[in-house]
Amino acid sequence: MAGSGNPYVAYSIVEDRQATDMTKTLQEVRRSLPASWYYDPDQYRLELEQIWYRDWICVGHVDSLNQTGDYFTATIGDQSIIVTRATNGEVRAWYNTCPHRGTRLCTNTDGRFRNGRIICPYHTWTFSVDGELLATPGRIETPDFDAAGYSLYGIHTDTWRGFVFVNLSDTPAGNLADFLGDETDLIANWPLEDLRPVHQEVHTINCNWKVYWENFSECYHCPRIHPELCKIMPAYAKAVFDDADLPDWQPRFDGDKGYGRVADDATTWTMDGKTPLPLLEGPTDEERDGGLMFMEVPASFYIVAHPDYVRSVRIVPKGPESIDLVVEWLLPAIAGDTDSDTIERIRALPMLVIEQDGAACELNQQGLRTRPFDRGTLVPQEYVLWQFHEWLRGRLDKTEPGA
Ligand code: FES
Ligand SMILES: [Fe+2]
C-alpha cells in the first residue's frame, strides 16, 4: 500500500507520485476483490460502518451557507444530515432527526430556516440552528422534562478551503487536516477560496461505489471508452494515466514527474482543448501547462483542477449497487454570473466522460454475479486499483474469502 504512514489516511497518490522510482506499474498480474463484495448487502453495510461512518466525508460547499440559518441536507449511506450556518457563523451539522420520536426534520435539499428555527413537522418541537430545543408547543408539563436533554444529535464538522466535511464517528480517529494529509499539496496553488460552484449536475450510476473508484483509477479503458478525451490527453490514448507509466518515458523538463498532461495545443478539458475563460491566478506555469491536477480523497471526493476552472466530484453511495455523483464546476466568485455558452463549453467534455464511465461501470456491475466469476485480475497499469484494494483491505475488519 502506498499509504502515508498513518493508517487512518486514505492511500496517498502524492506519496506515490513523489516516489523516486517512477515505475509504479505492477510487475505481475494480481487478483482483484471477491466479486460478491460489489453487491452483497452485508459487505455494503460493513463498508458503511467501517469506512463511510468513520472517515471524513465531503458533503458540500460553504457557498450554499452564506447566512445564519442557511442549510443543505446530505446523505451518507442511510444517514440523513442537516448542514447549517450556526449563529456564531460556524458550519455545524446535525442528524436530520427529531429527538422526540425520530421523525425526519427536513425534506428539502437546501434553503434557509426561517428565523433560524428548525421545526419538526410532526409535533412542532422547535430547535435553534445551534441544535438546542427551544420550544415544545402543546406538551403537557411534567417535572422531569429537561429541554437540555433533547438537543439535536450533533455531528463532527469541518471545512477545507470551502468544502464541508463531516465525520459520523462519535470520536473521529483524527481531524480533517490529518485525514486529507499531503494530498492537498497537489493543488495548493489553486485559489480554491476564491472560487464558487457555478454549475452542478447529479448523475446516477447503477454500480457499487468501489466499481466507480476502480474505473476512476485506471486509464486502461480510455482508448476504447473515451475517444474524445484521448484527443486532449495523449497518455490516455496509450491506455495509461501518466506519461511516466510508459516504459519509454523521458522527462520533458527539469523536475518533470511524468504526470498525464494535455496535448501541446490544448489548455484544458473542453471538446477542443481551448478555454473560454481567463486562466486562474496561482498555479505555476508548469502546472498550467500540464492542464490538470487531481486531488483524491477516497471514499467520497475528488477534485480536478484545470488552469481555468476547477471541478469537484462527490460520490454518494445509495445502496450496494447504486451511487449518485454530484459534479460541480467552480469559477472565481468575482466573475459574476457565467453565461450559459461558457458553462456548456466547460461541462460538455467532463460530462461526456462521466456518462461514458458510468455506462462502463454499469456494464461492469452487471457481470459481477456471474457464477464462475469469483474475482477479476489486475494488469500492470491498474496499479492504483491495487493500492485502492490494499487500502480497503486495511480498513475492513474482515477476512477475505480465498485470500
Ligand atoms: S417527532 Fe418531532 S416533534 Fe414529535
Ligand atoms: Fe474513464
Domain count for the chain, please give it: 2
Whether 177 is in a domain gets the answer: no
Contact 169, 285 (CB under 8 A): no
Q: Are residues 27 and 75 in the same domain?
A: no
Q: Are residues 238 and 274 in the same domain?
A: yes
Cβ of 103 closer than 6 Å to ligand 1, yes or no, is: yes
Contact 185, 126 (CB under 8 A): no
Task: Specify the ligand 1 atom closest to the Cα of 101.
Answer: 1
CATH of the domain at 201: 3.90.380.10
Which cell numbers in the block locate residue 111? 434553503
Q: Which residues of 369-402 are buried (b: 16+ CB within 10 A; e: fewer)?
A: eeeeeebbebbbbbbbbbbbbebbeebbeeeeee
Give φ, ψ of 62 to 5 degrees.
-65, -15
CATH of the domain at 101: 2.102.10.10
Q: Are residues 235 and 367 in the same domain?
A: yes
Closest CA to 190 of 302, 281, 260: 281
Q: Are residues 83 and 230 in the same domain?
A: no
Which cell numbers in the block locate residue 190? 489553486
Q: Are residues 84 and 146 in the same domain?
A: yes
Question: What is the tens place of the pLDDT at every residue in 146-190?
Answer: 999 999 999 999 999 999 999 999 999 999 999 999 999 999 999
Whether 283 is in a domain gets the answer: yes
Task: Specify the ligand 1 atom closest to the Cα of 98.
Answer: 2
Cα first-last separation, the chain: 17
Whole-prediction pTM value? Answer: 0.94
Cβ of 122 closer than 6 Å to ligand 1, yes or no, is: yes
Question: What is the tens place of the pLDDT at every residue in 314-363?
Answer: 999 999 999 999 999 999 987 667 789 999 999 999 999 999 999 999 99
Contact 34, 373 (CB under 8 A): no
Contact 274, 304 (CB under 8 A): no
Closest CA to 159 of 101, 241, 91: 91
Q: Are residues 326 and 259 in the same domain?
A: yes
Which cell numbers in the block locate residue 193? 477560496
Domain that holds residue 88: 56-167
Q: Are residues 225 and 354 in the same domain?
A: yes
Closest CA to 381 of 90, 23, 1: 23
State the Cα–Cα distance between residues 9 and 184, nearest whole angstrom: 12
State the Cα–Cα distance between residues 115 and 117, nearest whole angstrom: 5
Ligand 2 centroid, distance to 227 Cα (angstroms): 10
Ligand closest to Cα of 215 equals: 2
Q: Are residues 229 and 351 in the same domain?
A: yes
Q: Are residues 113 and 99 in the same domain?
A: yes
Cβ of 125 closer than 6 Å to ligand 1, yes or no, is: yes
Closest CA to 378 of 237, 227, 217: 217
Please tell me what DSSP assigns to residue 163: E
CA angle, corner 246, sides to 241 and 248, nearest 5?
150
State the Cα–Cα distance between residues 62 and 70, nearest whole angstrom: 10
What is the full per-residue pLDDT of the chain (403 aa) written as tens digits?
Answer: 233 333 344 444 444 444 444 457 888 999 999 999 999 999 999 999 999 999 999 999 999 999 999 999 999 999 999 999 999 999 999 999 999 999 999 999 999 999 999 999 999 999 999 999 999 999 999 999 999 999 999 999 999 999 999 999 999 999 999 999 999 999 999 999 999 999 999 999 999 999 999 999 999 999 999 999 999 999 999 999 998 888 888 898 888 888 899 999 999 999 999 999 999 999 999 999 999 999 999 999 999 999 999 999 999 999 999 999 999 999 998 766 778 999 999 999 999 999 999 999 999 999 999 999 999 999 998 999 999 999 999 999 888 877 6
Contact 380, 4 (CB under 8 A): no
Burial class (CB in 10 A: 0-12, 13-18, 19+), 261: buried
Q: Are residues 246 and 309 in the same domain?
A: yes
CB-CB neighbours of 116 under 10 Å: 19
Task: Specify the ligand 1 atom closest to the Cα of 123.
Answer: 3
State the helix-helix crossing angle for 383-395 and 209-216, rounded to 10 degrees.
Answer: 140
Ligand 2 centroid, distance to 17 Cα (angstroms): 20
Contact 9, 3 (CB under 8 A): yes
Q: Are residues 229 and 288 in the same domain?
A: yes
Which of 94, 101, 107 should be mutated for ligand 1, with most atoms under 8 A from CB?
Answer: 101
Whether 195 is in a domain gets the answer: yes
Where are the strands (E) in 54-108, listed by range? 56-61, 70-76, 79-85, 91-95
Ligand 1 centroid, distance to 126 Cα (angstroms): 9
